[in-house]
Structure 1
């Protein structure tokens, strides 16, 4: 299997999970959040500087449907991560110079 096909497949699966399956994730606190609640640490929490950002709290600001809001936020997150990772990989390859065709 070619690397490009593998990456496209992984991207599509990631988008599917972020956009659809993420809605079915548990609403219960995760392990770290549970421990912070049990030990009173969460009571000391303050609002984050980016609490009013467009993607705050695992949703898209202005989208009223929670399923759609969460799905869109997940898709945007996957997209941003993919672009950043692709940029890092491209810059790394560029700095190494021409690569050998023997490994393809």
Structure 2
């Protein structure tokens, strides 16, 4: 399998997991929230500085259906990470000298 095909398949699988599998994700609190509820310090939690961001709490602002909102947030996250990691790769990649010597 060529590298290009491998990365294309990996991208499709990532998008499917982020967009479709997240539809079936639990709406119950995560582990830290669960422990905070069980031990009684959940009320001392403060709102995050990014609580008003478009993708806060694994949701997409402006989308009313919580499952679609979560799936869309996952797909956006995959695309953003793809763009950032590709940009970082191109910045740090090895380049051949102009004269062809190493």
TM-score range, shorter chain: 0.7 to 0.9
Question: How many aligned positions are there?
Answer: 96
Query: Unmatched 5+ residue regions in structure 2?
Result: 97-102
Structure 2 match to 1:19 = 19
* Distance of 1:27 and 1:68 partners within structure 2: 13
Structure 1 match to 2:5 = 5
CA RMSD across the alignment: 1.5
Q: What is the TM-score with the length of structure 1 in the denominator?
A: 0.81
Give structure 1 regions of 4+ aligned residues with deviation exceeding 4 angstroms: none
Matches within 5 A, 1:1-104: 1-93=1-93, 96-98=94-96
* Distance of 1:32 and 1:84 partners within structure 2: 28
